[in-house]
Amino acid sequence: MTRKLFGTDGVRGRANTYPMTAEMALRLGAAAGRYFRRDGSRAHRVVIGKDTRLSGYMIENALTAGFTSTGMNVLLLGPVPTPAVGLLTPSMRADVGVMISASHNPAEDNGIKLFGPDGFKLSDEAEAEIEALVASDIVPSDAANIGRAKRIDDGRFRYVERVKGTVPQGRRLDGLKVVLDCANGAAYRAAPEVLWELGADVTTIGVSPDGRNINAGVGSTAPEAAAARIREVGADVGLCLDGDGDRVILLDETGSVIDGDQIMALFADRWAAEGRLNARTLAATVMSNLGLERFLSDRQIALHRTPVGDRYVVEAMRAQGLNLGGEQSGHIVMTDYATTGDGLIAGLQFLAEMVAGGHRASELAHNFEKVPQLLKNVRFGDGRAPLDQAAVQAAIAAGEARLNGSGRLLIRKSGTEPLIRVMAEAEDEALMASVVDDIVAAVMAAA
């Protein structure tokens, strides 16, 4: 069964434009409600969280109407990070969890992510079944069995306590000067509370959401603001979260970026040495740098590569019993602590390592030398399929021949935006740039 509505991370698009309309959110809520109410012998409930986008109000209300129309009781968390939904869905004995967010995308976009009763994101197969229900005639409940909706005021506090519990008992962050950038997003209250309660000296930016400024010049996709603040206040480290709090980019004391590959390298090495890394294997996507692969190989740690998207990382981790994985973009998945990527937990584990060993951030951050990597994005129009064009396929084949095993080429369609991503890695940077430019030119001509 194929999926058209769902992408690599739920349903996503520009707010008030298909598929992110109130009408579609209502139908999606009703379809998911009907899917999870196949066992009609008991009461059913759904947990709904959201980030700080203005359109979140519209989508939250439409989803609530859809779910309650099929007899689901709705628990509304308000603005919380995505991993809080993953945590609270099983904790509150819900059948399904929903996060309303477009993650790192601009405020004009929004999205809907679904979690199963175990707190993990739904499989492709489950999403396909729900999508089929969206297209069908959804049978509503009778009037006597319409669901109720209730605001949950302490969801954020439950999440805060769980996150704090991932730091070893008795370890505090006293004396650590941290710049925290919350991207004007879902973690704007929870993240500062956690760091403050653990004793850190916190300077915050991106904590004044107005519905329209999420990810706007702040957060994991724009770490320059936090880097400048680090240099301004003389901070020891920076944590840059994205709009829904499921990814983090770290900054050392000079403001230099520490991406997800370097974070994963640190913890894979430490956990393997401590006997904590399940199967001595790290799960990461095809986007992770070749330098990470070489670093792990030198330490007899396996790297299992997955398609792009943290959900596919988690699926591989669950299938193989792994407990560490993630993406270069900053999704760090530690299933000992959470069911999905959690930027705040990953950042806290890094801070705990700094405190435990008295290390500077820069000493922990640069575990391997990256192989030069170049990524360019090409936007394409509706209904176009540039990668199917013969000229584009020929350009890709020519690029692979020119690299001749000396590097790596990855061309893919984004699962969240109408973009073709062209990425290459090679020691010869001039050759790499030439190969990428030739493929980009071919894609642009076909787009």
* CATH code, domain carrying 197: 3.40.120.10
Q: Residue 297 domain-assigned?
A: yes
- Distance between CA 410 and CA 223 in Å, rounded? 25
Q: What is the CA radius of gyration of the chain?
A: 22
Which pLDDT value is given to residue 2? 61
Last residue of a domain, one of 310, 339, 370: 370
Both 227 and 299 in one domain: the answer is: yes
Question: How many domains is the chain partitioned into structurally?
Answer: 3
Sequential DSSP letters for 155-217:
HHHHHHHHHHTTSPTT---TT-EEEEE-TTSTTTTHHHHHHHHTT-EEEEES----SS-TTSS
Taking 50 as the pLDDT cut, the residues of the chain under it are none
Which pLDDT value is given to residue 327? 96
CB-based contacts of 191: which residues, under 8 Å, 6+ apart?
81, 180, 182, 239, 241, 245, 344
Both 94 and 222 in one domain: the answer is: no
- Distance between CA 111 and CA 12 in Å, rounded? 4
Both 147 and 244 in one domain: the answer is: no
Which pLDDT value is given to residue 188? 98
Which pLDDT value is given to residue 38? 66
| Model pTM above 0.75 | yes
Last residue of a domain, one of 370, 397, 418: 370
- Distance between CA 246 and CA 54 in Å, rounded? 20
Which pLDDT value is given to residue 338? 96
pLDDT single digits (tens) 185-206: 999 999 999 999 999 999 999 9
* CATH code, domain carrying 438: 3.30.310.50
Query: Which CA distances in Å does 375 have to 261, 288, 414?
Result: 16, 12, 13
Which pLDDT value is given to residue 309? 86
Are residues 248 and 90 in contact, defined by beta-carbon separation less than 8 angstroms?
A: no
Both 306 and 399 in one domain: the answer is: no
Q: In whole angstroms, what separates CA 434 from the centre of its chain?
A: 31
Q: Which domain holds residue 29?
A: 11-154
233-236 long-range contacts (CB < 8 A, ≥24 apart) are 233/177, 233/179, 233/203, 234/177, 235/177, 235/178, 235/179, 235/203, 236/176, 236/177, 236/178, 236/354, 236/360, 236/361
- Distance between CA 319 and CA 335 in Å, rounded? 12
Are residues 332 and 342 in contact, defined by beta-carbon separation less than 8 angstroms?
A: yes
* 421 DSSP β-pair partners: 377, 412
Both 274 and 335 in one domain: the answer is: yes
Give the catalytic positions in this structure: 103
Q: Residue 3 domain-assigned?
A: no
Q: Residue 226 domain-assigned?
A: yes
Which pLDDT value is given to residue 39? 58
